[in-house]
Amino acid sequence: MTFHATRDWDRETAWVAVAASCVSIISFLIYFKHGAVLLYGDAVAHINIARRVFDSQTPGPLQLGTVWLPLPHVLMIPFLFSTAAWRSGLGGSIPSMIAYVAGAVGIFRLVRGALAFPSGPDAAARLAGWFAALVYAANPNLLYLQSTAMTEPLYLALFVWAMVFFSEFTQRVARAAERRPSLVRSLMKCGICLAGAELTRYDGWFAAAVMGAAAFVVVFRVAHGNSDLRSALIMFLLLVAVVPVFWLAYNAIIYRNPLEFANGPYSARAIEQRSARPGAPPHPGSHDLYGAGKYFFKSAELNLAEGNCQKVWILAALVGILVVLTVSRRLAPLLLLWLPLPFYMLSIAYSGVPIFIPVWWPFSYYNVRYGLQLLPAFTVFSALFFYALGTFARSKPARIIIAAAALILLAGSYISIWRAQPVCLREAWVNSRTRLALESELAVKLRDLPPDTTLLMYLGDHVGALQQAGIPLRRVINEGNHRTWRRPSDPAGQWERALADPGQYADYAIAFAGDPVSMALAKHSLPVVAQVDVPGQPQARIYRTRPNTISSVSRASNHLPPRRRSDDLGLTR
């Protein structure tokens, strides 16, 4: 590639980053204004897990817990020292917004770089890169998720950049005259991105295993005594292997179970078993790979468009795949973008991970956002489809018509999503209505408690009430305040001691029907100073555990919970 081409590449990349940054900020401000940043219960949980690392009666890295991988929480920590950023959710959104911009830039570089090989980028390759970046960055569902503390934007960015460096690695291998240091750098950068993806979502473990096998095949086909390249491969494989080993060891040491994240009480399988109704059928796709694939693929369609536009995207992507398989086999590494499909098929079928979509039984919303993992694949292969059409077109007017058709498809698809509301936003709203009502009303009553009092509360379900009330987590004795390696329980732990004798350790106890605090308080006769009842949610009660504690909480019963600004988004109850 010439110096001029490289300079243009840098300038174009900068413009993609600037444009994506502006869109990211505007999108966040819109959703923040309408109170939609904290709709997802998981987003609230991610923020408060990160906050507990330094704001807890027992602060430290063990507050990161298990099940959820640690990197998203670690990246949030610097932005959550501010109480305002914690309460508003901004501190959790910033890493997602940065990841969104990085993902858009990565998609541009991936498509443009793949099509530029081996002669350098031309106008068609540049336009294909811009189109791919636009499809990715303008997706309404991704725009919503990047405004929250959800982990999908971060994982997508790391996965896309792993693909960028892996694609560049294979291109450099194909150049006989390519210098060895550049080969090693590309492979190591790919490994770093994969390690980050492995520390973000378990999808990354599957992607790392497959890409590791692919790198092994590439290297041993061309090494021919190249010890440097083989050494780089070994380092790459060790890099992507160390993360699962670390996480298994962490779970074994801290929880006395290396698979605590997979079969422990907070795992997806355990949650499904607790929420299952007696006699009810299993979730769609359970022990059925084909059915699992159908539901996951349909969730991907819902994240791309509404109505008939979905089929056009599928057709474009399929033709793009055919182009790679028959005409441009040098682009074969891009097929790895479809790795989320087999991973989620296996997860839905055999790991207790359900996906509910509004158009198929059970006609509900649950994990619909997982379909967004195929956004990079649809983006890249649709861009390849239109690029191939433009290549075969013989006249400039024909190319203009093809470009216009691509933009019309994009605009029509995303306008259809905005009209119906992004499916991820609908999912967040439908599943948060009663939770938000409970937490908002409870937060009002918690704010009326005397300052600097100590609370006893299980944080697994409704930590958002404390976040809304602005009560520091270090004032709350919770399930994270004990030694997890003491199994089956830690009688000397602060949490267990407080449950056994609430009055000795806490001034007030907040209990939700059926949670550990409510079951522990059933053995005591403590006065109830406030109660919150919301249909569809467990009853919440505030108990006074010490008779000499003076409270003004009773006045809170005259307060009405604030109207949720998310009503302004047009979402109905």
Asked if residue 369 lies in contact with residue 424, where contact means CB atoms within 8 angstroms, the answer is: yes
Q: Which of 135, 150, 165 finishes a domain?
A: 150
* 352 domain residue, yes or no: yes
Asked if residue 136 lies in contact with residue 153, where contact means CB atoms within 8 angstroms, the answer is: no
The rounded distance, in Å, linking the Cα atoms of 225 and 202 is 35
* 271 domain residue, yes or no: no
Q: Which of 431, 458, 489 finishes a domain?
A: 431
Task: Tell me what the mean pLDDT of segment 434-440 comes to.
Answer: 98
Burial class (CB in 10 A: 0-12, 13-18, 19+), 423: buried
Asked if residue 300 lies in contact with residue 371, where contact means CB atoms within 8 angstroms, the answer is: yes
pLDDT at residue 565 is higher than 90: no
**Residue found by looking up tokens 């994969």 in the block:** 194
The predicted pLDDT at position 1 comes to 42
2: confidence class by pLDDT, cuts 50, 70, 90: very low
The rounded distance, in Å, linking the Cα atoms of 203 and 296 is 14
117: confidence class by pLDDT, cuts 50, 70, 90: confident
**Residue found by looking up tokens 């790795």 in the block:** 339
553: confidence class by pLDDT, cuts 50, 70, 90: low
The rounded distance, in Å, linking the Cα atoms of 420 and 415 is 9
% the chain with pLDDT above 70: 93
The predicted pLDDT at position 542 comes to 98
Whether residue 344 is found in the same domain as residue 470: no
72: confidence class by pLDDT, cuts 50, 70, 90: very high
pLDDT at residue 562 is higher than 70: no
The predicted pLDDT at position 572 comes to 44
DSSP 373: G
Whether residue 281 is found in the same domain as residue 426: yes
Whether residue 181 is found in the same domain as residue 146: no
Closest CA to 113 of 125, 101, 105: 125
The predicted pLDDT at position 554 comes to 47
pLDDT at residue 550 is higher than 80: no
The rounded distance, in Å, linking the Cα atoms of 314 and 318 is 6
The predicted pLDDT at position 128 comes to 97
* 554 domain residue, yes or no: yes
Q: CA end-to-end span of the chain, whole Å?
A: 56
Whether residue 476 is found in the same domain as residue 412: no
Domain span at residue 260 reads 151-266
Most confident region among 6-10, 112-116, 486-490 by mean pLDDT: 112-116
Encoded amino acid at 324, one letter: V
Average per-residue pLDDT in the chain? 92
The rounded distance, in Å, linking the Cα atoms of 360 and 362 is 6
SS3 labels along 457-491: ECHHHHCHHHHHHCCCHHHEECCCCCCCCCCCCCC
* 173 domain residue, yes or no: yes
The predicted pLDDT at position 179 comes to 61
Rounded to two decimals, the pTM is: 0.94
pLDDT at residue 7 is higher than 50: no
Whether residue 470 is found in the same domain as residue 426: no
The predicted pLDDT at position 120 comes to 74
Distance from CA of residue 249 to its chain's centroid?
A: 24
Greater model confidence, 21 or 568: 21
Length of the chain: 573
Q: Which of 150, 178, 211 finishes a domain?
A: 150
Whether residue 406 is found in the same domain as residue 441: no
Per-residue pLDDT tens for 257-310?
999 999 998 888 888 887 778 888 999 999 999 999 999 999 999 999 999 999
The predicted pLDDT at position 559 comes to 45
SS3 labels along 317-370: HHHHHHHHHHCCHHHHHHHHHHCHHHHHHHHHHHCCCCCECCCCCCCCCECHHH
* 492 domain residue, yes or no: yes
Whether residue 344 is found in the same domain as residue 394: yes
Per-residue pLDDT tens for 441-452?
999 999 999 999
Contact partners, residue 157, CB within 8 Å, separation at least 6: 99, 100, 102, 103, 106
**Residue found by looking up tokens 């604030």 in the block:** 562
Per-residue pLDDT tens for 321-356?
999 999 899 999 999 999 999 999 999 999 999 999
Strand order in the sheet with 508-512: 476-477, 455-457, 508-512, 540-544, 528-532
Per-residue pLDDT tens for 363-408?
999 999 999 999 999 999 999 999 999 998 889 999 999 999 999 9
Per-residue pLDDT tens for 181-233?
788 999 999 999 999 999 999 999 999 999 999 999 999 888 666 778 889 99
% the chain with pLDDT above 90: 82
Per-residue pLDDT tens for 32-71?
999 999 999 999 999 999 999 999 999 999 999 999 999 9
Whether residue 75 is found in the same domain as residue 92: yes
The predicted pLDDT at position 5 comes to 42
Asked if residue 193 lies in contact with residue 158, where contact means CB atoms within 8 angstroms, the answer is: yes
Greater model confidence, 437 or 5: 437
The rounded distance, in Å, linking the Cα atoms of 401 and 448 is 64
Per-residue pLDDT tens for 532-548?
999 999 999 999 999 86
Rounded alpha-carbon distances, angstroms, from residue 217 to 168, 195, 212, 222, 301:
16, 20, 9, 9, 33
State the Cα angle at 536 between 33 and 36, rounded to 5°: 10
Whether residue 141 is found in the same domain as residue 16: yes
The rounded distance, in Å, linking the Cα atoms of 445 and 300 is 41
* 16 domain residue, yes or no: yes
> Residue 225: left if φ>0, alpha if ψ -120 to 50, beta else—which one?
left
Whether residue 425 is found in the same domain as residue 281: yes
Asked if residue 463 lies in contact with residue 479, where contact means CB atoms within 8 angstroms, the answer is: no
Whether residue 393 is found in the same domain as residue 287: yes
What's the structural domain count of the chain?
A: 4
> Residue 194: left if φ>0, alpha if ψ -120 to 50, beta else—which one?
alpha
Whether residue 314 is found in the same domain as residue 196: no
The rounded distance, in Å, linking the Cα atoms of 54 and 63 is 9
